[in-house]
Chain A
Amino acid sequence: MRFWQELTRSVKQSGVLLWGAPLALLAVFFFIPMAAILNVMFAQSGDIVFSDSLRPLGFTVFQALLSTLLTLLLGLPAAYVFARFDFTGKRGLRMLTMLPFVLPTVVTAVAFNALLGPRGWVNLLMMKLTGAQAPPINFLNTFTAILVAHVFYNIAIIIRVVGNAWSQLDPRLENSARVLGASPWRAFIEVVYPLLRRPILSAALLVFLFDFTSFGVILMLGGAGFSTLEVAIYTQALHNLNLPMAGLLSLIQLACTVIILLLYGWSSQGNDVPLFPRLSGEGTRKPRSAVEKGTVALMVIILFTLQVLPLFALVSRSLVRLEGERGQRGKVQSGLTMDYYRELFVNRQQSVFYVPPSRAVINSMSYAGITMLLSVGAGTLLAYAMVKRPATRRWLDPLVMLPFGASSVTLGLGLLIAFSGSMLSRASFPWLVPLAHSLIAIPFVLRTVQPALSAMPKSLCQSAAVLGASPARAWWEVEMRLLSRPLLVGGLFAFTISIGEFGATTFIARPDNPTVPVAIFRYLAQPGGLNYGQAMAMATILIVICAVSIGLLESLSRAINGSE
């Protein structure tokens, strides 16, 4: 009797009821797969050539450094413009610059293909003008393509993180420096930059992490000539069938990302110390001098060209036929068409799949729905565990962050190796895809719910109790109502992540049950205008889904900030 009381008390104390289930999920679907990779590596020795891993490692670091530098170069002025100036269309542009970040990497690749690829607008236009037979611009499969796509993809992080910190920075600090006799430049160097150094560093590290683990962009835009660790894992595992080598590469990748994540965690600590959140919009104003107006205009044009034009090219390309489709219609037709969308519902013999491609859309949507539920559930439990039992946070937080850092390709490879032939294999266990997506999405949900939960004044629930609400009722009527928006935001994040996830899904989606990104990748690999057009059409559908959810996200987070 006494023993049981002691036991239940210590169970309650540890908060295991809160973190137990999410941690079990993590153990089965992350730690076992990682162990399986290790096992394969050491059990099937022979094919490992250690020096073969150095080239991809070197190239990965090199391209990530260069991409991060370029992103900062363009992102910092953009962050400044967003933080300090008001101009027409600012909110719209802000949303548009966020769009590439939440768009699947596959869409990024397809968008640049539609703009600058051999069948892209620019090349078609120049061929028409010059009468040349071959596309004059060679953009695909170049190093430039990788760099441009990375800047396109990650500039939103700099704008968001640095821009937010910058706009929260009390403008009076800068003003007092000016009054004390500092020139605008001195005021920036001696006051603004020191206060923004941490946010800049942590944003840069995050960009570096994303560039380091970039997979879809490099596979589809860089081609065979450029092999990063991620691409090398993919080719070793799925093309060369050299699992031990893929395992070694995964371990190197994991070690690197853990280091980057630790640096990131260190750099983002205490970010908010020197900042003075004041009334929103206090530090912004209309550009006044010609130089300011010019800077803002230039920034708007650059962002518009970089962020919006490729997406516009992609969407328009899915609606326009510009060439004859080899062997299908026989003659050249051009003009507006809905054929590429219509074809998605047709199950053609020559099709890449034996099911209609619309099936991929249904798959993606249902996987994303399940991912949303799973990760919101697990993320909320973890958030509660960390807030109610602060001692757990120290060890729980890094554990949960690991799958996010492990890179999706490593996760996919691990799941493939660990469960092949078992009842959890991809052939017999359809939940594998949403489970993998959930592991990636949980950190995002946690990061949205946990701050909201710990910021909630304790007195709210206590006053509900004093007013006569039982603990369950106080939880439901007060806490859950107040958390509903962060939960929805977290859920939408999870949904968007799942819809676009490519790296892990290529390993664990069944060939006859692809998701949209996997289907797009396969279409692009096929010849012919129809396949190209269908890739464009599917990518457009993805953009629409993601745009809707980011639109919701923006208005929700505005409503959250507004209510405080």
Chain B
Amino acid sequence: MDRLEIIDLHKMYEGAPLLDGVSFYVVAGETLCLLGSSGSGKSTILRIIAGIETQDAGSILWRGKDVSAVPAHRRGFGLMFQDYALFPHLNVSENIAFGLRMQHAAKDQLGARVFEALERVNMTAFASRRVTDLSGGEQQRVALARALAPRPQLLMLDEPLAALDRSLRVELQEDLRELLHQTGIPAIYVTHDQEEAILLGDRLALLHNGRIVQSGLTEEVYRQPANTWVARFLGMTNLLEGRVVSVNPLMVQTACGTLGPFVPGYPSLLSPGQVVHLLVRLDGLFSGEHQPSAGSINGEVTECRFMGDHYRVRMKVGECASLECFTASPLVLGKALELRLNAEDVVVLPE
């Protein structure tokens, strides 16, 4: 089965460990989004898998065999570089034909396969254009076609949309998603943009401090982040700091009083006295009628913004913390509120 597995990858960079035991896998038919802040070593992982760089320790298994000793040009993996790395001395179709020529593709097939690759990315009209005359989005499509043309066993994309402006990025995200599912080959997609990751990734792997801190199906990761860093990185900022009072039932002491009981989440061990954050869903705070299952908080409206189909309300809670929630109607600034928490809307995150 087409399966790539990375086991315990280590790499030093300028005297400090950049990768400190990275492990993950990707199988045919799925896209794995490798997420991490810039400089976290995401690109280095791709370059090691491609064979351009070598790891200090660890193995890269393709179909169960270690390919660490195979040089880059014999691995048969495709890598799309962040700056696209199109050859400036070759035109669009010559760029795409490059990988096919390296495979000694038959002359008569060459033209057809280049055309096929161009068709996939809707660039047939550009076949004989110079790559230096293309716009960013067009270059991105050519680079993708070039990476796909030799029919690689595995496709890696290194922040392929980072250099493009927002509207173009959204458009290309859709195209990319469709294309990746069409080809069915295992794909690793590196990005630091969580929106892109949600849209494109079947699974996510989050890289932090040289390790994969969480990996799993995209929805799972979102529903149940492993810790505060993951939540913050994925853009969830509705956090309330606290300290565990008791584990069973799970009670947490915050600036707004002791709250709980909560449902223990991600398999991590919590102990009394431990510092945690409560992640509260944006639509999980409301002044409903029925009795809240996990206590209530007193807040004061400090900001109310119209967001189109709802209002986003920011409230001051306790001395110096704040929370946000969505409401259907606007609230007056300074209004005092009682926020009711339900256990299923709160995740308790360790540091």
Contacts and interface: CB of A to CB of B under 8 A. Distances in A.
Interface of A: 457, 459-460, 462-471, 473-474, 477-478, 481-482, 563-564
B144 to A, nearest CB: 12
Interface stretch (B6-14, B75-83, B302-310): B75-83
Contacts of A478: 87, 89
A462 B85 contact: yes
Nearest to B72: A465
B334 interface: no
A467 B89 contact: no
Residue of A466, A477, A478 most packed against chain B (CB within 10 A): A466
Nearest to A481: B89
A467 B88 contact: no
A482 B89 contact: yes
B146 interface: yes
Contact of A469 (B79, B98, B146): B98
B81 A459 contact: yes
A469 B73 contact: yes
Given A462-B52, A481-B89, A563-B88, A468 B81 contact: no
Contact of A459 (B51, B76, B83, B150): B83
Nearest to A464: B98
Mostly, the A contact residues are helix
B88 A468 contact: no
B83 A466 contact: no
B271 interface: no
Contacts of A464: 87, 98
Nearest to A468: B102
B85 to A, nearest CB: 4
Contact of A467 (B47, B83, B99, B132): B99
Contacts of B132: 563-564
A466 B72 contact: yes
Nearest to A466: B79
B128 interface: no
A283 B35 CA distance: 43
10 contacts: A459-B81, A462-B81, A464-B87, A468-B102, A471-B73, A473-B102, A482-B87, A482-B89, A563-B132, A564-B132
Nearest to B96: A467
Contacts of A466: 50-52, 72-73, 75, 77-79
B80 to A, nearest CB: 8
Given A460-B87, A462-B50, A465-B50, 18 more contacts: A457-B83, A459-B82, A462-B47, A462-B72, A465-B52, A465-B71, A465-B72, A465-B73, A466-B50, A466-B51, A466-B73, A466-B75, A466-B77, A467-B78, A467-B102, A468-B103, A469-B73, A482-B88
A459 B47 CA distance: 10
- 8 residue pairs, one from A and one from B, having the closest CB atoms: A468-B102, A467-B99, A459-B85, A465-B72, A463-B85, A466-B79, A481-B89, A459-B81
A463 B102 contact: no
Given A457-B85, A459-B85, A482-B89, A465 B51 contact: yes
A455 to B, nearest CB: 11
A467 B50 CA distance: 10
Contacts, number: 71
A466 B47 CA distance: 10
A478 B95 CA distance: 11
Interface string B80-112: 011101011100000000110011000000000
A61 to B, nearest CB: 47
A474 B77 CA distance: 16
Given A482-B89, A563-B88, A563-B132, A470 B83 contact: no
A467 B52 contact: no
A512 B150 CA distance: 63
Contacts of B83: 457, 459
Contacts of B88: 482, 563-564
B316 to A, nearest CB: 43
Given A462-B52, A465-B52, A482-B89, A470 B73 contact: yes
A331 to B, nearest CB: 63
A467 B77 contact: no
Nearest to B53: A462
Nearest to A483: B89
A231 to B, nearest CB: 48
A283 to B, nearest CB: 23
Nearest to B158: A459
Contacts of B98: 464, 467, 469, 477
A59 B32 CA distance: 75
A521 to B, nearest CB: 44
Residue of A459, A467, A477 most packed against chain B (CB within 10 A): A467
Contacts of B99: 467-468
A488 to B, nearest CB: 14
Nearest to A562: B132
B95 to A, nearest CB: 9
Contacts of A474: 73
B89 A463 contact: no
Contacts of A481: 87, 89
A540 B90 CA distance: 41
A460 B73 contact: no
Residue of B78, B83, B85 most packed against chain A (CB within 10 A): B85
A463 B87 CA distance: 9
A457 B87 CA distance: 10
Contacts of A563: 88, 132
Residue of A462, A470, A471, A481 most packed against chain B (CB within 10 A): A462
A459 B103 CA distance: 20
Given A468-B103, A469-B73, A469-B98, A460 B85 contact: yes
A465 B53 CA distance: 12
A460 to B, nearest CB: 5
Given A462-B72, A482-B88, A563-B132, A467 B146 contact: yes
A459 to B, nearest CB: 4
A244 B140 CA distance: 68
Nearest to B78: A466
B198 to A, nearest CB: 28
Contacts of A462: 47, 50, 52, 72, 79, 81, 85
A556 to B, nearest CB: 14
Nearest to A470: B73
A473 B73 CA distance: 10
Residue of A459, A460, A463, A465 most packed against chain B (CB within 10 A): A463
Contacts of B79: 462-463, 466
A437 to B, nearest CB: 31
Interface string B9-43: 00000000000000000000000000000000000
Contacts of A482: 87-89
B43 to A, nearest CB: 10
A232 B201 CA distance: 78
A463 B75 CA distance: 13
Contacts of A477: 98
A424 B197 CA distance: 70
A367 to B, nearest CB: 32
Interface string B47-61: 100111000000000
Given A459-B81, A478-B87, A467 B51 contact: no
A467 B150 contact: yes
Interface string B126-163: 00000010000000000000110010000000000000
A311 B340 CA distance: 93
Contacts of A564: 88, 132
A564 B150 CA distance: 28
A481 B74 CA distance: 23
A468 B87 contact: no
B97 to A, nearest CB: 10
A122 to B, nearest CB: 51
A103 to B, nearest CB: 33
Contacts of B76: 468
A326 to B, nearest CB: 60
Contacts of B147: 467
A469 B85 contact: no
Nearest to A484: B89
